[in-house]
Chain A
Amino acid sequence: ILNVEQSPQSLHVQEGDSTNFTCSFPSSNFYALHWYRWETAKSPEALFVMTLNGDEKKKGRISATLNTKEGYSYLYIKGSQPEDSATYLCASILPAAGTASKLTFGTGTRLQVTL
């Protein structure tokens, strides 16, 4: 992996379903992995910043895990609600960046939760 990649590109679930998305990133020279939630017509909001291999973070019904050795992170949403509808972005620092300040974003997973 040479870039930050997210899958799936979009997801459509029903209220109450649990779901998860994947973020893949270069595992060499890992520094930090960010997750953001971006609602339509608003700005991205930070959900989690993860730095340690094996780290797990939780905020309400949303949680995330991190595997820095294999270069992936999962974001889980338990019991999806319509208000969870948003684009979920992950971001990391690419090894070629040469500095820890160049945060590179994936293209996001667009989640739509219907009643």
Chain B
Amino acid sequence: EAQVTQNPRYLITVTGKKLTVTCSQNMNHEYMSWYRQDPGLGLRQIYYSMNVEVTDKGDVPEGYKVSRKEKRNFPLILESPSPNQTSLYFCASSYTVAGGYTFGSGTRLTVV
């Protein structure tokens, strides 16, 4: 089944403890993005990648890192999480930049 797999689905962590949210797609998509969803603000892009080893900042990249060492994987790294990073995170991928995105199931992160 064609899908984008995110893990974990839920995570509660403490301020400053490094964490990684994994994202993997099995559709050979070139474009991958990370978004965060906050009430009243809509989906905001954190980072995106156009291909292996090609990544760039979205609208809200502060406090996040990404890597794209393989085409299928695009992990989101929070080196030192803070409470303002408490949010619902989505990974998404697309075959072309004009194509519709396939979203992962989301990761609800709480930083205390």
Contact = CB atoms under 8 A, between A and B. Distances in A.
Contact of A103 (B40, B45, B50, B104): B45
B42 A100 contact: no
Contacts of B31: 101
B43 A105 contact: yes
A11 B76 CA distance: 35
A72 B101 CA distance: 21
Interface residues of A, number: 25
Given A34-B100, A47-B100, A103-B101, 12 more contacts: A32-B97, A43-B105, A43-B106, A44-B90, A48-B100, A51-B98, A91-B43, A99-B56, A101-B33, A105-B44, A106-B42, A107-B42
Interface of B: 31, 33, 35, 40-45, 48, 50, 56, 58-59, 90, 97-106
